[in-house]
Chain A
Amino acid sequence: MSMSNFEGDRVAKETQVTKISQEHIDFLHRVRMEKISVRVIQILIFGVAFLLWEICANTKIVDPFITSQPSRVFNTIVRLYEDGVLFHHIGITCWEAFVGFVLGTIVGTIIAIMLWWSEFLCKILEPYLVIMNSLPKIALGPVFIVWIGAGPPAIIVMTLAISLIVTVLEVLNGFLTVDQEKIKLVQTFGGSKYQVLTKVVLPASYPTIINALKINVGLSWVGVIVGEFLVSKAGLGYLIVYGGQVFKLDLVMTSVIILGVAAAVMYQGVVYLEKMLVKNKA
């Protein structure tokens, strides 16, 4: 949104009344052409890479037994579909990632709110947060399995373990960098701490929270796949491990590609959420 820098009563309207000049048309055309070129080249790179992969495999430049190839990936998808397990595996993994992601975000934000609310609590917990943040959470996998049992709950807890602390730290940092003067403004109207939270701190932190979400999308997938590596009997992570063990690289590659698509879709979901939530970013 272009905005006016005129002071006083003059407004941006002035720029809209004037007739559109040829230069401006040319400019818009250039911008549009560039956008199209970028998209075309992006698709080309994708197509060429897959084509090369296919050709190299067919001509035995690489060994398709080890590298798989697009046609085999496609056949694998069809076979999984015909066996009726394709969406079962995808569904389980996506569900675990989604639940882990949503839980991580909500619980992380709630903990961040608590720490913001009580500076004292924050000071007490700080060293623990630092330690937990630097700990490689994957090391806790076996602990979770013993405690919770092999299955989706353990996988979701694994996901939480990986994304939670980062969320807490990110969101809390967002809370703490909210302009003190904006908080003072709410206080001058007699605002309570709760009102400071709901009227300023939370809405001002939406961009930070969204950024935390974006990081969380990636971390949730890491958590889910690690979890599935360790315990699962179904899901894309399971297919990858299983495929690796029995040397079915087609299955591994197929799962990795599906995983990539699923993660991208979830990321786009967050981007969409961002558009809805963060109106009129300055």
Chain B
Amino acid sequence: MKPVVEVNNVGMKYQSLNGEITALENINFSVQDGEFVSIVGPSGCGKSTLLSIISGLIASTSGEVLLSGEKVTGTSPKIGYMLQKDHLFNWRTIFQNVMLGLEIRKTVTSSAKEHAIKLLKTYGLYEFKDKYPNQLSGGMRQRVALIRTLVTNPQILLLDEAFSALDYQTRLVVNDDIYDIIKKENKTALLVTHDISESISMADRVILLSKRPGKVKHIYDINFDIKNRTPFSSRETPEFRYYFQEIWKGLDVHV
């Protein structure tokens, strides 16, 4: 089967008056349907840049990205993007926030509205639909942000440090939450993070990027010998520590 995402020889150079920054160099990988892939790398290595290129927000300066075989030339409804913060608009109610993507795409229909309501119900947010974001906890807000992405029915989710604004305990809970939602909704996911544990706990594969200019240093296949895997239960397995050691060595951190 054709991979959902193919990244072929992608490179990115930023131009500025102070010179040229090579953010990414010769990136190659692909993601299969339903797969959960994490990308780790030191900060500034070009992880956000890579997601922006895949989503079509910016154009790479070399190489190409294919979505189910089609070349990316601009933003696509196939892709849902989750940013580091939830960025719920505090002048909109939860329901209005959830509808944002549909409004922008001009695809607000009664069935889309029903879909939104169904998602809110399924993930325990329906009773808050007429509340404003500042009345919700951080974990709930992140779930609302995910639903805002899901109502547009993307096939691929790009998560850019989507959990790093949360405190540690909340993050563990939200990791499980979001993982559960992504699996239930059958989405392909690409998670960018600088947190090794998080990357392992959710992923089927971890792609390690080198420091700038970002190159693919290694790709780790992650397998846990447990049933009904969740990010939390993954963290408790013996393999987890092994993977952590491997990636830690690969990351080669110097302070």
B-binding residues in A (CB < 8 A): 1, 3-12, 179, 181-182, 184-191, 195, 199-200, 203-204, 206, 278-282
Secondary structure at the A interface, as helix, strand, loop or mixed, is: loop
Residues in B neighbouring A278, C-beta threshold 8 A = 91
B134: CB under 8 A from chain A? Answer: yes
Contact partner of B75 among A182, A190, A279, A281, CB < 8 A? A190
Q: Are A8 and B173 in contact (CB under 8 A)?
A: yes
Residues in A neighbouring B224, C-beta threshold 8 A = none
Q: Are A3 and B91 in contact (CB under 8 A)?
A: no
Are A1 and B134 CB-contacts (below 8 A) given A184-B57, A189-B100, A199-B103?
yes
Chain B residue at minimal CB-CB distance from A279: B91
Q: Are A181 and B85 in contact (CB under 8 A)?
A: yes
B132: CB under 8 A from chain A? Answer: yes
Are A280 and B104 CB-contacts (below 8 A) given A181-B87, A188-B57, A200-B89?
no
In the complex, how many angstroms separate the beta carbon of A185 from the nearest chain B beta carbon? 5
B237: CB under 8 A from chain A? Answer: no
In the complex, how many angstroms separate the beta carbon of B135 from the nearest chain A beta carbon? 5
Binds A, one of B76-84, B114-122, B226-234, B245-253: B76-84
Bound together, the chains give a CA A129 to CA B51 distance in angstroms of 39
Q: Are A8 and B75 in contact (CB under 8 A)?
A: no
Can you give 12 contacting A-B residue pairs, CB < 8 Å?
A1-B135, A6-B137, A7-B173, A8-B170, A8-B173, A185-B87, A188-B81, A189-B100, A189-B104, A199-B100, A203-B89, A280-B91
Q: Are A189 and B85 in contact (CB under 8 A)?
A: no
Residues in A neighbouring B84, C-beta threshold 8 A = 181
Are A8 and B137 CB-contacts (below 8 A) given A181-B83, A280-B132?
yes
Are A9 and B134 CB-contacts (below 8 A) given A182-B87, A188-B55, A280-B91?
no
In the complex, how many angstroms separate the beta carbon of B168 from the nearest chain A beta carbon? 11
B124: CB under 8 A from chain A? Answer: yes
Residues in A neighbouring B167, C-beta threshold 8 A = 7
Are A4 and B135 CB-contacts (below 8 A) given A187-B57, A190-B75?
yes
B254: CB under 8 A from chain A? Answer: no
Interface string of B158-184 (1 = CB under 8 A from A): 000000000101100100000000000
Which parts of B73-117 form the interface with A (CB within 8 Å)? 74-77, 79-81, 83-85, 87, 89-91, 100-101, 103-105
Bound together, the chains give a CA A195 to CA B103 distance in angstroms of 10
Chain A residue at minimal CB-CB distance from B79: A188
B139: CB under 8 A from chain A? Answer: yes
In the complex, how many angstroms separate the beta carbon of A278 from the nearest chain B beta carbon? 8
Bound together, the chains give a CA A11 to CA B77 distance in angstroms of 34
Bound together, the chains give a CA A41 to CA B31 distance in angstroms of 71
Bound together, the chains give a CA A184 to CA B87 distance in angstroms of 10
B152: CB under 8 A from chain A? Answer: yes
Bound together, the chains give a CA A34 to CA B228 distance in angstroms of 59
Q: Are B135 and A190 in contact (CB under 8 A)?
A: no
Residues in A neighbouring B74, C-beta threshold 8 A = 190
Residues in A neighbouring B140, C-beta threshold 8 A = 8-9
In the complex, how many angstroms separate the beta carbon of B189 from the nearest chain A beta carbon? 15
Are A281 and B90 CB-contacts (below 8 A) given A181-B85, A187-B57, A188-B75?
yes
B42: CB under 8 A from chain A? Answer: no
Q: Are B83 and A199 in contact (CB under 8 A)?
A: no
